[in-house]
Structure 1
Amino acid sequence: MAPSRDLDDVSDSSSVSDPLDTRDDEGWEDVEPDEETVTVLSLFDEETFPDARSMLLYCRDHHGFDIWKLRQDSDLDFLGLIKLVNYIRSEVQAGKTHPDVSSKAIFEDDKYLKPVLENDSLLYSLDDIFDDAASLTPASEVEQLREQLANLQSHFTAYREEVQKAMLDRLDSPDAKTESSNVQQARPSNGTGSSDNDYFKSYSYNAIHESMIKDRIRTDSYRDFIYDHKDLFKDKVVLDVGCGTGILSMFCAKAGAKLVIAVDNSDIIDKARENVFRNGLQSIVKCLRGKIEEVNMPVPQVDVIVSEWMGYCLLYESMLDSVLYARDKYLAPDGLMVPSHATLRIAPLADSDLKASHIDFWRDVYGFDMAAMLERAHEEVVVRVTDEKELAGDSYPFLELDLHTTTVEDLTFTKPFKTTWKEGFRVLEGFVVWFDIIFAEARTDGRVKPGMTAAEAKEKGLIAFSTGPYSEATHWQQGILLIEDPTDGFRAGEELCGEIKYVRKQGRERSLEIEVSWAKGGKTGKQEVKKQMWVLD
C-alpha cells in the first residue's frame, strides 16, 4: 500500500503536471469507448440481458431450452447454431411458444441463415459462448441428476430400514402379526394405521421434495402448462391434492387463481404455509393439513384439481385413489384435471448391463461368492435408468387413463401387450415399464389420441412428458422387471405377446405386485407361456 499524503499535496502535484489529465486537451471528448453496450433479447419473451450467456442460461432455467445440450445431441456446427437461433426466433414471432427442436432436420433450411432480428447480438456471440462452456456442458448436468437420484434412492433405503426396525420392535406385542402386515412404504392418503404415519413422516423431510422439484422434466411441465394457459386458472378455485412444498399451488396463484386450496397430511404442510407467506400469496393459497378424504373444505366445489400423484411404474403408492376421490366429491361437472391423461408402456429388455450389475454382481464380490443375496433378487422391481439401445422391441401402451373418467377399479387390471422383436437381439432378459403424462386443455381435447406418446402429444402442441428411456431421465426412472430364466432364441420379426397384471399387495395396499406372462406369438402360439411376478415395496 502506498504511503498516505496530505490532500493539499495531492492537489498541488496534480495541478502542476498530470499526464493523464485530459481536461485541457482538445478532441478527447469525441473518442468512443472501447466496448459498446450490448443488449441481447431473450429467445422466448421480451426479457433483455447484457450478454448472450446470461440470456441463454435464463432460457434454460425458465423455458427448458438447453442450447448446450441441444448442440451436443444434434451435433450442431456454427452454421447449425445460427439456423437454430433464427428458427426459434421465427417460430416465437409466429406465436409458437414451444418450438419443436426434436431434430435438426426441422431447421436445416438455409432460409434460417437470414437473421430474424436486425443486428441480433446473440448471433455475434455464439463463438465466444461455446469456446468457454465447459462448466455448462450437459455432462455436468447429467452428473448432477445422477447425484440427485442417488440421494433419493438412499432416502428410501433408510426409510425401509426404519420401517423394518419398527416391525421388529413390535414383534412381542399381541397384535404383532396383524400390524406387521400393514407396514407400507408409499404416499398414502386414504389408508389407516401406523403405516400412514410412517409414510407421511417420510414426506416431512426436505430430501424427497428437493429431488422432485429439481426434476426439471416434472416441474417444468406443470409450470409451463399453468403459465401458458392462465385463462384456465384466472379467477378459478383450484384444489392441490398432496401439495408438498406448495410449488404447484403457488404456480396456480401466480396464474390468476382466486383461491387455491393446498392439502397435505405431512408435516411438510407447515413449510408450505411458510413458503406461501414468504411469497405474499397467503390471501390466495389456503393450506389444510389432513387427508383429502377427511379435511373440511372451505368450498363445496372447485374448478380445477392439480396434483403430482404419480409413483414408480405410475401406480406405486396408490395416491391416485385420493385424487379420484377428490374429483368425484369436489370437481365441478365441467372442471379440469391437471394432468389429464396417463399411459403405461412396456417394452422387452435384451442384452442389458442391468443383469450384470444387479444380478451377476453378487456371484463375485471382491472375490467372494455372495449368491445367497440372489434368493429374492428376481422378485423385486428394479428402479433404474435404461438405455433405449437395450430395448428389443417397440413399447406397447397397455393402460391408458383419462383422469376425468378413470375409476379406482381401473387401477387393478390385467392387460394384453404385444411387440415385434428387433434385429440384433436374441435373449429376452426382462421388461421395462414407464409412463407418459399429458396435460389436455379441456375435458375433451381432440388432439389427445389413443396410445399417443408424450413426443407425439408435443407435436400436437400439448404439454407432455415421458419417464421412458427415449427421454431425459426423471426421478421416476423406469421399472425394470428382470426375468429369472431369460428366454433365448428370438429372431427378428417374431411377435412377442403376453399379459401384464397390476395387483395391490395383500395387506400392503400401497405396494404393488406386477405379473407378466409372455410367449412367442402369445398364448395361442406353439411356444410355452412363461410367467413371473415382481413386487414394488
Structure 2
Amino acid sequence: MTEVEDTPTLCEGDDNEDSDGWDEMEVSGEQTTCLFCSSQFHTIAVALDHCRSEHQFDLLELKTKYNMDCYSFIKMINYIRLHKPDPHIITESCVALWDDDVYLKPGEMEPWLMYDFDDLGSTPSTPHYAIDGKTPISNNINDLQRQIYELTLQVREKDNLLKNAMQDMAKMREVTKTIVESGDSKILIPTNVASIPAGYDNEYFNTYSHYGIHHEMLSDTVRTTSYRDAILNNEDVFKDKIVLDVGCGTGILSMFAAKAGSAKVYGIDQSDVLYKAMDIIRENNLYDAIHLIRGRIEDTPLPVDKVDIIISEWMGYFLLFEGMLDSFIYARDNHLSANGVILPNRCNISLVGISDSDKYDNHITFWNNVYGFSMKCMKHEVVKEPNIETISSDTVITTPFILTEINLKTCQTNTVEFSTDFKLQVTKGGVLTALGGYFDTFFDLPNSVSFSTGPHVMKTHWQQTVFYLKNPQNVNEGDTIEGNLTCSRTKKNVRGLKVTITMNQEAQEYLLD
C-alpha cells in the first residue's frame, strides 16, 4: 500500500490580511513520490526526511560531498528515475554517477525538479520562516517537523563548513610551525614536487580531471603511437615483468604494458580521472593484469616494494613545465629495482631562431593600437609569457642548438635548473622575432623508438614554446646569434619555470606558470 503523509494545506486563515505573500508555498495538490520507494508525500521537505530516515539518503551530505549545484541536482534526480539504483550505491560512490549532460534532458513531469535546491542548507525555503527572522509557531505537527528538519540541515552544513575551515587552519598552523622552528635562515620553501605538503597540490591534479585534456593527449598520434611502439615492439622486455605507470591518466600506457605480457601493471594517478580509468580497465577485461591506485606517488605506498619497469608520460611544455619529472625521479629512486628499466630514458631540449613578422604583429604589436586606443603598457607583460604555438618550418631561420641533455636513469630534481650558452647559425636572412624551444624523447630499447616535438616534424599537443623578443633584430645568412638561456623553478610554484634569455647584453625574463 502506498504511504501518504497527511499534511494539510497551509492556507488556514486566508482571510487574514497579514498572510499576504505566504501563498508561494511548496505544498500543492500534487503528491511527491519517494526517490527509492512508492511512498508519496505532499511536500518535498517531508519526502527528504523520509529519504534520510528510511533510506539513509541525506541530500545535504551529498550536496557537500560532491559540491553540487542545481544542475547537478537535476541530473541526479533524472539519473535516479532512469536507473532506479539502491540509495547506498549513490551514497557510497566515490564519484557523482550522474555527471553526464545526458541527464539534463527533460523527462516526465517530476515534482522533485521543482524543489529550490540552492536553498538546501542555507536560507529556509518554506513559508514558515516569517517576519524579522522569527519563526511563527504552528499547530500542525508536520509543519513543525518540517521546520525542525530545515533547521537541522542548516546546522549540519554549517558544521561541515566549520570542520573544513578548522582542518585548513590546522594545515596552516603546521606549515607555519615548521617555518618558525626552522629559523630565519632555513625558511621552508618547496624545492621540488615531493616537498609540497600533501593536499596542497590538488589544483594541479584537478586540471587533469577534465576529459578534454585526455582526448587531446590520446589524439596526439606522435606521442601515443611512440609509447605504443616502444612497448609492443619490445615485448621481450615487458614479458612477466612488474610495471609501474606514473601518472597513468586514462590507463592507456598501462594497457599497452599489459598487452605486451607484463605480469602485473600498477598505475597511479592523483586526478579523479583515475575512476574513469578503472571503468576503462574493466571494459577491456584487464582488471586481473592492471591494478590502479589513486594518490601522489610521493605520498602513497605501493602494493610492491620494487618494480622492474617504470613508464610515464611526464613531459610538459618546454619539457620541464609542470614538474612531473620530479615524480618520475621519486618513483625511480624509491621503487625501481637495481637493474630496472625506465621509459623514456633520454630527453633533450633544443632552441631555434624564428622570423615571423605576422605572428609578432598579432601577438605583440597588436597592443600599439586597439580599436583606436593605445595599450602599449600591456606589451611589457605580454612579452613575458611564452606562447605555446605551432611554428611553421619556413619561419625557422637558424640551425637548432641543444640546450641540455637529460639521462633519466641518473638525473636529479635539480636538472630543471640549468644555464647554457648557445650559438645559432643563421641559415637565411630576415628579422629575428622570437626563439623557439622544443624537446626530443628517446626509448633506447632493442627496438628503439624516438620522437620530436620540433617544428620540422608532425605537430604534437606540446607544439613549441615561443619566446618573443622585446626588440627584434635583423640578421643575415651566415651570422651567428649568441646568447645564454637560464632555466629555473619559479619561487611561488615549483611546477612553474622562469626562463631568462640574454642576447646582446640584454636579459629578458619569461614565466611559464
**TM interval, short-chain normalised:** 0.5 to 0.7
Q: Distance in 1 between matches of 2:498 and 2:379?
A: 19
Which letter maps to 1:309?
W
Change (3 A) 1:243 1:189: farther
The alpha carbon displacement at 1:373 in A equals 3.1
Please tell me whether Structure 1 or Structure 2 has the larger radius of gyration of its CA atoms.
2
Match in the other structure for 2:351: 346
Which residue of 498, 502, 513 corresponds with 2:483?
498
Structure 1 unaligned blocks of 5 or more: 1-169, 180-186, 443-460, 520-528
SS at match of 1:200: helix
Take 2:319 and 2:298, find their aligned partners in 1: how far apart are those partners?
A: 22
C-alpha displacement at 1:423, in angstroms?
2.6
> What is the aligned partner in structure 1 of residue 493 from structure 2?
508
Map residues 16-165 of structure 1 onto 2, 5 A cutoff: none
- Report SS of the residue matched to 2:229: helix
SS of equivalent residue, structure 1 residue 468: coil
The answer to whether the aligner puts 1:485 opposite 2:471 as a matched pair is yes
The residue aligned with 1:204 is: 209
Asked if 1:430 is matched to 2:458, the reply is no
* Offset, 1:193: 6.4
Residue 277 of structure 1 is matched in structure 2 by: 282
**Structure-1 separation of matches of 2:427 and 2:445:** 37
Partner of 2:512: 536
Give runs of aligned pairs for residues 383-422 of structure 1, distance below 5 A. 383-422=388-427
Query: What's the CA shift string for 1:67-106, capped at 9, x where partnerless?
Result: xxxxxxxxxxxxxxxxxxxxxxxxxxxxxxxxxxxxxxxx
Q: Secondary structure at the match of 1:379?
A: coil
Residue 440 in structure 1 maps to residue 447 in structure 2? no
Counterpart amino acid of residue 252 in structure 1: A
Offset from partner CA, 1:290-319 (integer Å, 9 cap, x none): 111111111111111000000000000000
Q: Deviation at 1:474? A: 0.7
Cα distance, 1:194 vs structure 2: 6.1
State the distance in 1 between where 2:316 and 2:206 align.
17
- 2:372 and 2:214 map into 1 onto residues whose CA distance is 39
Decide whether the 8 Å contact of 2:398 with 2:428 is kept in 1: no
Q: Which residue of 2 aligns with 1:83?
A: none
What's the C-alpha RMSD, in Å, of the aligned pairs? 2.4
Matched-pair identity in % = 37
Distance 2:200 2:319 in 1: 20
User: Structure 1 residues 329 and 260, CA, compared in 2 at 3 Å: closer, same or farther?
Assistant: same
Say which of 453, 456, 466 aligns to 1:470.
456
How far off is 1:466 after superposition?
A: 0.8
Structure 2 unaligned spans of 5+: 1-164, 177-191
CA deviations over 1:484-525 (Å, ceiling 9, x no partner): 11223x222122222111110012111110111124xxxxxx
Contact 2:490 2:497 (C-alpha < 8 Å) held by counterparts: yes
| Alignment partners' CA distance in 2, 1:495 and 1:392 | 11
Length-normalised TM-score, structure 1: 0.58
CA distance in 1, matches of 2:416, 2:399: 24
Normalised TM-score (structure 2): 0.61
Report Cα offsets for 1:250-303 as digits up to 9, x if no partner: 110011000101001111111111111111111111111111111111111111
CA distance in 2, matches of 1:382, 1:188: 24
> Where does residue 58 of structure 2 map in the other structure?
none
Instruction: Specify the SS of the correspondent of 2:465.
Output: strand
Structure 2 counterpart of 1:329, one-letter code: N
SS in 2 for 1:508: coil
Q: Secondary structure at the match of 1:218?
A: helix
Tell me the CA shift for residue 367 of structure 1: 4.5
* Aligned pairs, number: 329
1:297 aligns to 2:302 (yes or no): yes
SS of the equivalent of 1:433 reads strand
What is the rounded CA distance, in whole Å, between the counterparts of 1:340 and 1:480 in structure 2? 26
Q: Measure how far apart 1:190 and its partner are.
A: 5.7
Q: Is the 8 A contact 2:198 2:299 kept in 1?
A: no
Q: Does the 8 Å CA contact 1:385/1:478 hold for their aligned counterparts?
A: yes
